[in-house]
A and B are shown apart, each in its own frame.
Chain A
Amino acid sequence: MADRGDTSSRRDRLLWMGLAAPGAIWLLVLFVVPFYVMLAVAGGGINEFFQTVVPVWNPLHWSSWNLSGVWRDITGNGAFIGPAALRTLVYTAVATVISLAIAYPVAYFVARHAGRRKAFYLVLLIAPFWVSYMMRMLAWIDLLQQGGIFNSALSSVGLPGNTDWLGGKSVTVIFGLVYGYIPYLILVLYAFLDRIDQRLIEAARDLGLSKARTFWQVTIPLSKPALIAGTFITVLPMLGDYYTNQLLSGAPGTTMIGNVIEGQLDAPGYTGQGAVLSLMLLVVLLIPMTYYVVSTARASRENA
């Protein structure tokens, strides 16, 4: 009997492995290996004649040639990566704060106070989720262009209506980042806030806390996981964004780190440096990503 149980459990294990195998192979070949290729390109050299990349597969032979090239662009004369990196941080921070300030009240209201209209509001909150990012940007390009509806609206109330909003304005780029990523943020906040135990808030009120103090001392602490997850969900893609900026400005004065990476990758002879820069961004993001992944894994283990 024990013997039969053993073989059947071994057969089961083979079945589970077999089911997981295609996905595992796909992840290995198209997620793990690509980053090794990135390392090989970053540590590799360049064909001087064709200006093409020569990846080096053996880690022992990796050179720091590309790394020192990037380092020059960060610190040396005419450095352009430093300002772009700083700008990326500022844009992302401002856009995230604005997004949270808009998204939190909306998600809070729909999750906790919408009552019978909850499904109605939820449909409207989810709707932008199904509209492609490209279309949402296109819509604002239409509105913000010179002679567009936004400028006409401004001049009809007596404000200057000839601003070139798409001509390289930081304000426009930050606005675009907020508009682009806020639907995801709201959905994440909603999912967390919806699970807060209403009884805890009622208890605080019953025990005599004022509305404002209940909010600050009970609701906000209970919302902390929501705010952390929401911040990750917006900050990570914003740091790797290049298209919002390209679509709504395209000017060198608003270049973000994603634009630098994209530009280097396409420039002959600079692909290796693009790879180094991508890896640097990855290393920086690895800390928040790991935090997020570990906390998600822990949460799903607790649910299991």
Chain B
Amino acid sequence: MAVELDDAQIATTSGAGLRLADRLRPSPWRQPWGMEGFTCLYILWSIVPIAIAVLFSFNKGASQSSWQGFSTKWYVGNSVQSVLHNPVLHQAVIQTLVLAVLTTAICVPIGVAFAIGIDRWRSRTSATLNLTMIFSFVIPELLLAIALFLLVTQALTFIGLGTEAEVAGLVVWNLSWPAVIVRARLVSIGRSYEEAATDLGASRLGAIRRVLLPMLMPAVFASAVLVFASTVDDFVIVEQLSSTAATQPMSVLIYANVHGGLSGPALNALATIMLLFSLLAALIGLLAYRWMTRGERQSSVEALTNIAGM
């Protein structure tokens, strides 16, 4: 039952009446139906086109706009153009996974160590390093990608274009995720646990390993999920630093073939696989995060915002 009280009514209602109103509606603010409707429209606008794109990856025909029945031929069935059978397409899936795994495996440990190091080593150098790291976060990706392209083609030519350059670039572009998230957690943990451990006889390194790292684990895990998903979705850096078709991940392949080239629904299938990777990472991340912070009575809203890097 929706009881709407306008301001004048609230102002003139007696104390008992106010308590009644309180009971019926916890907040004296009128429910903003207009804003809620607008929000729902936005959500529909943001999700329906993607749902349609996923749907058409299961189209029986070769059209991306008229539905001709359900089929998985663009994934596995078609012996020439499906993701499973077309060498270019499944190479792209593998390249995306390779890049995501390598980048996460290098970026997260380096970023976590970097966060601990600059947080504890308070000096002008660490402040400069922190600023550099934040700059690497806000710089437009195209500028960083071009600079990296020039680096590996003009200066460090032994790296050259290809997987090594892609991973190196993705690591530096994503380094700020673990660095920022872990640092925020470090600040909220404070130093007392670590000091207690060293007072009780642990070495500095032992205290980090046995006391600090376990407490940092949720943040480490959240940042790993973010790095993984943002590597899967990355486009600009990998486009500038890939060389042959063998080093092109899914995003680059979709970009190169959208206007002609490989046929339609196979691209939708590729994009759907990309989406699946990201969503799986997100889901695993959220569940693991809830499990690791189960003693902390975090609300689901907090867990969600933490896992999205907010």
Listed in ascending order, the chain A residues whose CB lies under 8 Å from chain B are: 8, 11-13, 15-24, 26-27, 30-35, 37-38, 40-41, 53, 55, 102, 105-106, 108-110, 113-115, 118-119, 121-143, 145, 147-149, 152, 179, 182-183, 187-188, 190-191, 194, 211, 232, 236-237, 239-243, 246-247, 250, 258, 261-262, 265, 271, 274-275, 278, 281-282, 285, 289, 292-293, 296-297, 300, 303-304
Contact = CB atoms under 8 A, between A and B. Distances in A.
Contact of A247 (B35, B232, B255): B255
The 6 closest A-B pairs by CB, nearest first: A240-B140, A20-B117, A23-B114, A16-B121, A19-B117, A34-B147
Given A12-B204, A41-B154, A134-B274, 13 more contacts: A16-B116, A18-B117, A30-B172, A34-B151, A38-B147, A102-B42, A105-B35, A110-B39, A122-B305, A124-B43, A132-B275, A278-B146, A303-B184
A105 B38 contact: yes
Given A41-B150, A139-B52, A30 B169 contact: yes
Interface residues of B, number: 96
Interface of B: 7, 26-27, 29, 31-32, 35-36, 38-39, 42-43, 46-47, 49-50, 52-53, 56, 64-65, 110-111, 113-114, 116-118, 120-121, 126-127, 129-136, 138-144, 146-151, 154-155, 168-169, 171-172, 175, 179, 183-184, 187, 204-205, 229, 232-233, 235-236, 239, 250-251, 254-255, 258-259, 264, 267-268, 271-272, 274-275, 278-279, 281-282, 299-301, 304-305, 308, 310
A136 B184 CA distance: 31
Contacts of B38: 105-106, 109
16 contacts: A20-B129, A23-B113, A23-B129, A27-B129, A27-B175, A30-B151, A33-B151, A40-B154, A53-B154, A119-B300, A124-B47, A130-B279, A139-B53, A148-B64, A149-B65, A278-B142
B235 A133 contact: yes
A26 B235 contact: no
| Most B CB within 10 A of own CB, among A19, A126, A145 | A19
Contacts of A40: 154-155
A29 to B, nearest CB: 8
Contacts of B140: 236-237, 239-240, 281, 285
